Amino acid sequence: MKITDIKTFLVDASPPGGWGGGGRNWLFVKVETDEGISGLGEASGWPRVIQTAIEDLQTILIGQDPTRIELLWQKMFLGMMGHGMTGVVGAGAITGIEMALWDILGKKLGVPVVDLLGGRCRDRVRVYAHASQPEPALNLVEQGYTALKCGGLQHPVKTVRRLRDALPDDVDVCIDVHGPPWLTVPDAIRVGQELEEYDLLFFEDPVPPENMDALAKVSGSLSLPVAAGERSSTIYGCRELIEREIVDVLQPDMGRVGGISQMKKIAAQAEAHYIMMAPHDGSNGPLCEAAAVHVMAAVPNFLILEHRANDVPWRYEVVTELPVVDGHIEVPRRPGLGVELNEEVARAHPGVPNVAAVTPANLERTYVEPRARRRRLFER
């Protein structure tokens, strides 16, 4: 079997009202072979730029055996040597292609990807949805979700308290404060300490991820689980978080972690340090979600998977649906990833220009009135 072509589909995934101040896209990848078996993958992070990186990687891959996944990963990784080997563009490009190679191997052998990763530790994968206000949170609980994450950049303590008071005790709550550059280490510690009484599933990105020592100071001062890692990729990018045991919950992004193999290797590293896995899926589409379901079903230290419950209307028109039932996604038993791409629908929603997520208005809110902003952090 030989690779004959690699195609990409940039699909508009901007929800109503915009996202992050601008356009949002999914980048789907299709690897074709001379035996008529094709594989699907997805890359996230900076899709329009990654699309070009994938085109460049074709020169390494055309004519190669797609079932030699580890060898091809190493070739692609070395091919990125002059472009930043663990950066989001290179890792994202490798991710989309490598994911498709696993899909091909599973289809060739007639087995789901999870079986190639050691088999199922579980038959279904628990997911959480997003809500920061009581009413939508209760609606999601009525739909069967057993865990919710809120965004608490401006009022973290107040947001969690309102949700915790409104929700049943058996519903887990976690919070993402998005590592804002203005949240100091002392403030992040104090926010975390005030959140301890609410028994959170985890406290995500309390400070920016660039400074590991700062994150270590925060996590070492709290008795609630701290989560981070969505902006890290490959075993090399996640190594320090794991080896120093800075986090309790690791959140690699399935669309830019470096591929299925890398996610599995990272989970094994984390397992040795008693760190749980909760992959980030915030900007990903349904192919990344399918891949994450397979990998997380195969590892013992899985906690929960992020899921976009209210996405664009065509999410499951462009890719086969993996339904959420009682807050879980059942692990597909079809060969490969177990999902298919509708290319006609993908072309009907062409990608949109990316716009910087940090707008002048956001910068204005971020860097002015620090005293007033700090007071809001601790409002109850």
**pLDDT tens-digit series, residues 294-319:** 999 999 999 999 999 878 888 989 99
263, pLDDT greater than 80: yes
- How many angstroms separate the Cα of 159 from the Cα of each of 144, 290, 367? 21, 31, 22
Q: Which helix (H) or strand (E) holds 29?
A: strand 25-33
* CA gap 105, 180 in Å, rounded: 41
Following DSSP, what letter does each residue of 326-369 receive, concatenated?
TTEEEPP-SSBTS--B-HHHHHHSB------SS-HHHHHHHHS-
- Mean local confidence (pLDDT), 21-25: 70
| Least confident interval from 55-64, 221-230, 259-268, 306-315 | 306-315
47 phi, psi to nearest 5 deg: -55, -40
Query: Quick one: tokens of 101?
Result: 């190679």
Among residues 83, 155, 280, 307, the one annotated as catalytic is 280
**CATH number among 3.30.70.580, 3.60.70.12, 3.40.50.11900, 3.30.390.10, domain 3-112:** 3.30.390.10
| Least confident interval from 123-127, 148-152, 226-230, 359-363 | 359-363
Task: Indicate the pLDDT class of residue 358, thresholds 50, 70 and 90.
Answer: low
For the domain spanning 115-336, the CATH number is: 3.20.20.120
Show the DSSP H helices in 180-279 as ranges.
185-195, 212-220, 234-243, 260-271
Closest CA to 144 of 182, 114, 122, 171: 171
Of residues 44 and 187, more confidence is placed in: 187
In this prediction, residue 376 carries a pLDDT of 83
* CA gap 177, 183 in Å, rounded: 9
User: Mean pLDDT score of the chain, rounded to an integer?
Assistant: 92
pTM for the whole structure: 0.95
Show the DSSP H helices in the chain as ranges.
47-61, 69-79, 88-109, 113-116, 134-142, 156-166, 185-195, 212-220, 234-243, 260-271, 286-297, 315-318, 343-348, 360-367, 370-377
In this prediction, residue 371 carries a pLDDT of 67
Tell me the percentage of the chain whose pLDDT exceeds 70.
92
Task: Indicate the pLDDT class of residue 374, thresholds 50, 70 and 90.
Answer: confident
DSSP code for 173 = E
Sign of CA dihedral 112, 57, 7, 311: positive
What are the pLDDT digits (tens) for 26-85? 999 999 999 999 999 999 878 989 999 999 999 999 999 999 999 999 999 999 887 766
The ranges assigned to domains in the chain are 3-112, 115-336
Of residues 353 and 358, more confidence is placed in: 353
In this prediction, residue 378 carries a pLDDT of 85
* CA gap 133, 348 in Å, rounded: 34
Task: Indicate the pLDDT class of residue 89, thresholds 50, 70 and 90.
Answer: confident
In this prediction, residue 311 carries a pLDDT of 83
320, pLDDT greater than 60: yes
Closest CA to 320 of 348, 293, 342, 304: 342
| Least confident interval from 84-88, 126-130, 232-236, 247-251 | 84-88
281, pLDDT greater than 70: yes
In this prediction, residue 360 carries a pLDDT of 56
The helix/strand/coil state of 45 is: coil
309 phi, psi to nearest 5 deg: -75, -30
In this prediction, residue 21 carries a pLDDT of 47
Closest CA to 125 of 377, 320, 323: 323
The helix/strand/coil state of 280 is: strand
Q: Are 291 and 114 in contact (CB under 8 A)?
A: no
Degrees to nearest 5, angle at CA 215 with 210 and 221 = 170
The helix/strand/coil state of 290 is: helix
Of 11-25, 114-128, 313-327, highest mean pLDDT: 114-128
Among residues 83, 130, 155, 178, the one annotated as catalytic is 178
Helix axes of 69-79 and 88-109: crossing angle, nearest 10 degrees: 160
- Mean local confidence (pLDDT), 360-367: 57
Task: Indicate the pLDDT class of residue 353, thresholds 50, 70 and 90.
Answer: confident
* CA gap 59, 27 in Å, rounded: 19
Strand partners, 226: 203
- Which residue in the block uniquely carries the two structure tokens 């004519």? 63
* CA gap 103, 319 in Å, rounded: 14
In the chain, the N- to C-terminal Cα span, in Å, equals 61
- How many angstroms separate the Cα of 254 from the Cα of each of 45, 167, 230, 299, 374? 10, 29, 9, 14, 34
| Least confident interval from 74-88, 154-168, 215-229, 355-369 | 355-369
Q: Is 178 a catalytic residue?
A: yes
* Residues in contact with 237: Cβ distance below 8 Å, sequence separation at least 6, in sequence order: 86, 91
